[in-house]
Chains A and B, each alone.
Chain A
Amino acid sequence: MSSSGKPDIPAPLTNLKIQYTKIFINNEWHGSVSGKKFPVLNPATEEIICHVEEGDKEDVDKAVKAARQAFQIGSPWRTMDASARGRLLFKLADLIERDRLLLATMEAMNAGKIFSNAYLMDVSGAIRALQYCAGWADKIQGRTIPADGDVFTYTRHEPIGVCGQIIPWNFPLIMLIWKIAPALSCGNTVVVKPAEQTPLTALHVASLIKEVGKLIKEAAGKSNLKRVTLELGGKSPCIVFADADLNSAVEYAHHGVFYHQGQCCVAASRLFVEEPIYDEFVRRSVERAKKYVLGNPLTGGVNQGPQIDKEQHDKILDLIESGKKEGAKLECGGGPWGNKGYFVQPTVFSNVRDDMRIAKEEIFGPVQQIMKFKSLDDVIKRANNTHYGLAAGIFTKDLDKAMTVSSALQAGTVWVNCYLAGSSQSPFGGFKMSGNGREMGEYGLHEYTEVKTVTVKISQKNS
């Protein structure tokens, strides 16, 4: 949850110097094979922060070759103690902590993130996820198995190999860590392609990896994968029953859709409110949205920054127009803000019907849709009536409703009387077209593990 300026945090760095703008392979910095570079923008000002080397297929090939080499049997990485892998990840967490202010400033500037969120949530979340996965490194255990016959059977949980990881621009630092931490903890090597909009924090972390030790080989590029895990979009429903704590539900639902300018895969973008409290809920939600201060995310007291780029900005405005045209009631907002930067006014629609575009398509912007419902069975059906299935929220004080609805919803994470409560310890991922596989928690390790069964003939088996 965002809350600007609660604990005392330092001011963002002024005059931030971007040191790392190249391709990172084998702990070294390389120019692109083609010589091409591309600009990286500040979405609050539309100004160019710097230029970064542009990797293409040839650069990817270099990176994969390096990663494959580092993965060979007998290599330092393969022969290293698992606990030592963990130590390296812990050290990386320490260095991120050391560079917290720099990374938070960079993230806020490049991704348009509110600085206090970047400092308190993004960098902290990255550190904790790293520490969590570091702890798993020497606890990835296979089994010995009572197989039939005179055999001794066991499994080894081996790393898979070279893992290509493509990460988005909405939480650049955290998404980087969520990918590399479990992969490295399990002993893999990685080739990471950060989003073109937000490469800077990933490249800074690459420099920290070099500082940690010569033994993790890393690179930036794309690659072709056999095993695929996907974390995709969502149109996550929030269901508010009449017996819910109203204030709390309004607040959670609000943050659920407006956090980070609505650019969250789990955004609570379909809000189903039970008829008896519907009007009051809409009134309070609008009041809450109207309080927002928009502006440069590095400035204190700002609640909402810009969208990431022009493409997103235009797409959001287009969907808002569709909402107006298809007959939803515009309660507040409804257009762009300011004469510079990709800002959109916090927007609330009520009387939204399930068949409207704004009720079906992922907007990824600061636009809240509020719908009315009558019966429990009905709202479950409507909530599940989507190709997506990433997350969901339920607000009720009733035990039976909580149990019934959480079991029935087709979503990878169901929040009860809260929203956006994430942790490194709990697995996260989507049902249906929101993706496959889980990240974080112990389950998150499965994607990065190849199970080998070894069966040895013995002269006589005894239990």
Chain B
Amino acid sequence: MLRAAATLGPSLGRRLLSAAATQAVPAPNQQPEIFYNKIFIDNEWHDAVSKKTFPTVNPATGEVICQVAEGDKALETLDNGKPYVISYLVDLDMVLKCLRYYAGWADKYHGKTIPIDGDFFSYTRHEPVGVCGQIIPWNFPLLMQAWKLGPALATGNVVVMKVAEQTPLTALYVANLIKEAGFPPGVVNIVPGFGPTAGAAVASHEDVDKVAFTGSTEIGRLIQVAAGSSNLKRVTLELGGKSPNIIMSDADMDWAVEQAHFALFFNQGQCCCAGSRTFVQEDVYNEFVERSVARAKSRVVGNPFDSKTEQGPQVDETQFKKILGYINSGKQEGAKLLCGGGPAADRGYYIQPTVFGDVQDGMTIAKEEIFGPVMQILKFKTIEEVVGRANNSSYGLAAAVFTKDLDKANYLSQALQAGTVWVNCYDVFGAQSPFGGYKMSGSGRELGEYGLQAYTEVKTVTVKIPQKNS
């Protein structure tokens, strides 16, 4: 995802910010007008049947922005708290690429004609599944919307999308663009609301043919149960992770430190694939820890509209408290707190970049997904040992390897139980390459050609013919 970011090298964050300074990025409107705050159905705006509204909050200040309304391009930052420069250069860029990629697939997803035994002509049709319920999270609101709409619409489906209650604004703005683009009414419908009500309604609806969910593993389980208990709708899930980042002793140290930092701290630590278990080979452990702490201490936390900011606030109070809870457990269970460890400001949901060293596999912070700016560094001896420990998790979303050795790279990428393995890089995404989880990190793949499969129903047609010739 952060191809733009990842190619910038050790001073990546700084390069991005200086791009903003030299006018590569237009200045944000910090008080955008909100135009769209209703429910989008059949290309029209509707009040909730109950007439209820809910507030959406600016996580940088804790204040209510509006009772769900309209907006402009600074909306993503206002609603989610991610630094504006990143919103503009990374999130939006990836959204465009994803949509363009899937637009290209629309007329290319071929069925097959098949040499079946007997005097028959047999072929498959790749049909759309039907009504697709799509429930998306708050960590990359626009991007998650594009990842869902792209493959679903390219294959001819229709969509009912439930957007996260924390971050509905950009999705609703896009709804109006959908109307402007000329999609027929009813093809895309967007409902802002809460999980237990709107989300649950989608997952258990008797007339929804498929549900796609991105969010926590805990809720993913509920979605799957609801699907099975109702009409056995098709299910794809993109859930949590506790992704291992393995630093071998022959890795390029500067590069590995910067990438490992980025792997954990990007998006305020709020990435499903965050590299939240950094395994460092013992020969280089001390130096790695020292450099990582220095880097974390230099991370600039502040107002996301400020072009110098690297880290904004966490998305809401619930997350804020949960992360502080995990930090406490780390302290209590004996991990070594090397920097950070608490809130970073009096107002807003800011948390100091935090690094724990000497983390043991059994600690809570080594097992559970924190989803915040808290880095765990663990020591290992041998490559065989680290494979076992890296795979010893119910999660399996991503993993990374830093090494210069060809055989080690091949060995590890083969052995790791993860849907994506990065070698000498992290968080590199492309619309072209599939992404998804092993084990309890989810089922199914998004992006790439593979991403079309979940939105396709295959029909086999077999016709009797007078005589079959090859």
**Chain A interface (Cβ within 8 Å of chain B)?**
82-83, 86-87, 132, 134-139, 141, 152, 399-400, 403-404, 407-408, 424-425, 442, 456, 458-462
Enumerate chain B residues within 8 angstroms of A152, measured Cβ to Cβ. Answer: 410, 414
**Shortest distance in angstroms between B410's beta carbon and chain A's nearest beta carbon?**
5
**Shortest distance in angstroms between A88's beta carbon and chain B's nearest beta carbon?**
13
**Chain B interface (Cβ within 8 Å of chain A)?**
97, 100-101, 103-108, 110, 121, 406-407, 410-411, 414-415, 430-432, 449, 463, 465-467, 469
**Shortest distance in angstroms between A266's beta carbon and chain B's nearest beta carbon?**
22
A87 to B449, CA, bound (A): 19
8 contacts between A and B (CB under 8 A): A83-B101, A132-B107, A400-B465, A404-B465, A404-B467, A442-B110, A456-B406, A458-B411
A408 to B469, CA, bound (A): 8
Enumerate chain A residues within 8 angstroms of B432, measured Cβ to Cβ. Answer: 82-83, 138-139
Enumerate chain A residues within 8 angstroms of B97, measured Cβ to Cβ. Answer: 83
**Shortest distance in angstroms between B100's beta carbon and chain A's nearest beta carbon?**
7
B104 lies within 8 A of A403 (CB): no
| B410 CB contact (under 8 Å) in A83, A87, A135, A456 | A456
A442 to B467, CA, bound (A): 29
**Shortest distance in angstroms between B433's beta carbon and chain A's nearest beta carbon?**
10
**Shortest distance in angstroms between A443's beta carbon and chain B's nearest beta carbon?**
10
A50 to B199, CA, bound (A): 68
A83 to B3, CA, bound (A): 13
Enumerate chain B residues within 8 angstroms of A408, measured Cβ to Cβ. Answer: 469
A136 lies within 8 A of B108 (CB): yes
Enumerate chain B residues within 8 angstroms of A139, measured Cβ to Cβ. Answer: 101, 104-105, 108, 432, 449
A459 to B405, CA, bound (A): 13
Q: A86-B104, A137-B104, A458-B407 are in contact. List 9 more A-B contacts (CB 8 A).
A: A86-B100, A135-B106, A136-B108, A138-B431, A139-B105, A404-B466, A407-B469, A425-B108, A460-B411
Enumerate chain B residues within 8 angstroms of A134, measured Cβ to Cβ. Answer: 104
B466 lies within 8 A of A403 (CB): yes
B465 lies within 8 A of A83 (CB): no
A399 to B55, CA, bound (A): 62
**Shortest distance in angstroms between B97's beta carbon and chain A's nearest beta carbon?**
6
A461 to B101, CA, bound (A): 33
A403 lies within 8 A of B407 (CB): no
A462 to B412, CA, bound (A): 11
B104 lies within 8 A of A135 (CB): yes
A425 lies within 8 A of B414 (CB): no
A135 lies within 8 A of B103 (CB): yes
Residue of B nearest to A403 (CB): B465
B410 lies within 8 A of A138 (CB): no
Beyond A141-B449, A458-B411, A459-B407, whether A403 also contacts B105 by CB under 8 A is no
A400 lies within 8 A of B466 (CB): yes
A403 lies within 8 A of B103 (CB): no
A23 to B465, CA, bound (A): 55
Give the one of A152, A407, A424, A425 with max B CB within 10 A: A407
Enumerate chain B residues within 8 angstroms of A407, measured Cβ to Cβ. Answer: 465, 469
The 3 closest A-B pairs by CB, nearest first: A135-B104, A403-B465, A458-B410
A460 to B414, CA, bound (A): 10
Enumerate chain A residues within 8 angstroms of B466, measured Cβ to Cβ. Answer: 400, 403-404
A152 to B97, CA, bound (A): 30
B414 lies within 8 A of A462 (CB): yes
A400 to B407, CA, bound (A): 58
Enumerate chain B residues within 8 angstroms of A135, measured Cβ to Cβ. Answer: 103-108
Enumerate chain A residues within 8 angstroms of B465, measured Cβ to Cβ. Answer: 400, 403-404, 407
